[in-house]
Amino acid sequence: MHRWWYLLLFFLPLFGEIELSLAEVEEIALENNRDICALRNLLCKAKEGRLESLSRWWPEVYLISRGYQTQERQAVTNSKSAFISQIGVAQSLFSTDRYYDVKLSGLAVEQLQLLLDALIIDILFEVRVGYYRVLYDTLALRITKESVQIYQSLSERETQNYRIGTTILLNLNQSKVLIAKSSSSYYQALKNLEVDRDVLIRLMGFDPGSFCFELNQTAFPLNEIPLLASKLTRAEEIFAPAEKGQSPIYSPNFLSREAKTMQTLFTPFERNLWEERALTYRPDLRRQAVEVKMAKTEVNKRWGEYLPNVWLEANYGGYPTRTLDNPSNALFNQKFHWAVGFNVEWLLFDGFGRDYRLQQAKYEQKAKCCAYEKGMQVAYEEVRRQLFTMEEALSTLLTAQGSVRLSEETKELAEIQLEIGTITIFDYQFVIDGLIESLNSQNLAAFELIRSYYGLKHASGIDLEESL
């Protein structure tokens, strides 16, 4: 992450709140999120472990020096002292354990890399959802604040009317009840905003409440996302032109047209494309494929236990071979000899232990294959679920937009009727409540739509693919 972010966040109390875009929040989270940092360190550990397994194929150089004082004189040294020193080199020539340990350590690095990719995709999804949830809370707070102002204005007017005798005490008290009710809703919306902002700060890797920020967006950027913009344009065709005061959502054929449009919103080709992307790019599915490879390598490693281990040795000193012991009677008067040879160790029978370990590895491999097949099924399921969710959210959004237009027209008419006294404050309350509900439903539908879009990207695993 750019260092200036740290400086800016550190000195933030001196400058007040800042505005952050979604891209900036993502950048901070990917660099500073605690879960990502922890897994990156584990990945570095796995890479060091792979280097350690490779180092076992390097020659082993060792130095031995032993000294003894004995009760009786040694026949070889004619002394009660015995010293042996030597330097040796051992090089493994054939070892199935070392060979497959290198392969397993490489697969472990690949597995942790895919785990990190999966975590990054998860964090990106959580950050994006958290960002737009804060935006939804901000819009909900704004709507609630406006409703408080509307009810305050209404109460002031009812107070004046009560003073001049054109309204009754019941209407005046009801206007004050509406203020209290809307105020309660306002603080509930404020609490939701603060809680969701803290969640987003934690995802960015900082302590909740450590700094405050605002979003640089005031509306959901649905038309800025090509996929959503194209689907919205196509879905809006179900809204036929209507006269003022009317709405196409109440036309006789609206529901059938809407159902037909929603059913064909995503073509079979598009569905198959997203499913294929999931099978290709999902890190968790690729990680399970690596686990199958690891299980297969473990089976091969167990087969390798039936083969011998061979290594080369070269020694120079008083114990050049396991069959030749040539001690000296003084530390600085030792006899040195060289020897070069090979060692072969072959386990011929261990009570069928190798057979049982081989069978265990085979069953483990079958279990990993089953888990991989289940992962493919889950990938299909999640992609299809997100596509269905997007269709539902799009339909809800279009319906909510029509409802908002009707509610705004109804509010204008209700204000006129309230002014001339043909409706009561109770009737006007229903109109305002309907408008607030329509606006919140519209914003919630927009949030769910953009959430389903990022959910589709998350389910298909394409977030780390720059070409898609």
For strand 81-94 and strand 309-317, is the pairing parallel, antiparallel, or unpaired?
antiparallel
Q: Write out pLDDT tens, residues 97-132.
A: 999 999 999 999 999 999 999 999 999 999 999 999
Give which of 453, 442, 458, 457 is closest to 219, Cα–Cα: 442
Token pair for residue 47? 């890479």
By the 10 Å C-beta count (0-12 exposed, 13-18 middle, 19+ buried), 449 is classed as buried
DSSP codes, 407-452 = HHHHHHHHHHHHHHTSS-HHHHHHHHHHHHHHHHHHHHHHHHHHHH
Q: Write out pLDDT tens, residues 294-314.
A: 999 999 999 999 999 998 888
Mean pLDDT in residue range 208-214: 84
Give which of 29, 21, 42, 9 is closest to 126, Cα–Cα: 29
360 vs 107: CA distance, rounded Å: 20
The listed CATH number (1.10.340.70, 3.40.50.2020, 1.20.1600.10, 2.40.50.840) that belongs to domain 16-59+96-307+349-460: 1.20.1600.10
405 or 331: which leads in pLDDT: 405
The residue extents of the domains of the chain are 16-59+96-307+349-460, 60-94+309-345
Query: Comparing 4-8, 350-354, 399-403, which segment has the lowest mean pLDDT?
Result: 4-8
Given this model, what pLDDT does residue 1 score? 45
427 or 375: which leads in pLDDT: 375
**Residue type present at position 214:** E
**Whether the Cβ atoms of residue 30 and residue 93 lie closer than 8 Å to each other:** no
81 vs 72: CA distance, rounded Å: 9
Given this model, what pLDDT does residue 432 score? 85
Mean pLDDT in residue range 219-226: 92
Mean pLDDT in residue range 158-178: 75
Three-state SS at 87: strand
Token pair for residue 60? 């082993």
Query: Which pLDDT band, with edges at 50, 70 and 90, does 334 fall under?
Result: confident
361 vs 380: CA distance, rounded Å: 29
The Cα-based distances of 159 to 145, 156, 163 in angstroms read 21, 5, 6
Mean pLDDT in residue range 65-69: 80
